[in-house]
Amino acid sequence: MQFHQAVATGDGSVACSVLAPETVDELEQTTGSACDKAVLDQDLHDAQTAQVSQAFGHGAQVLMDGVVVFLAVLDGQ
């Protein structure tokens, strides 16, 4: 939820801080922009409320306002 809240409020730095490093790299490579700008330029759904969630070991799948979000524990976080 922190990611979606950060995007909704225009805080690209916070949004990028919760992404996997590989995701940040891919976003920057495909857009040619720094993550904090590129993430705000994406056509992302405004997902704020979790309806259903399932946890699997160190990962989870969450349905938020009709959008499926995949979560993972990275480096203990």
Average per-residue pLDDT for the chain: 88
What pLDDT is attached to residue 76? 63
What pLDDT is attached to residue 77? 58
Tell me the two tokens of residue 34.
Answer: 């720094």
Distance separating alpha carbons of residues 2 and 55, to the nearest angstrom: 18
Number of H helices, E strands in the chain: 4, 3
Q: Do the domain assignments include residue 41? A: yes
- 17-41: pLDDT as tens digits: 999 999 999 999 999 999 999 999 9
Q: Do the domain assignments include residue 61? A: yes
How many Cβ atoms are within 10 Å of 70's Cβ, its own excluded?
8
Average pLDDT over residues 46-55: 82
Q: Which residues partner with 72 through β-bridges?
A: 59
Q: Do the domain assignments include residue 10? A: yes
- At 57, the amino acid letter reads G
Q: Do the domain assignments include residue 77? A: no
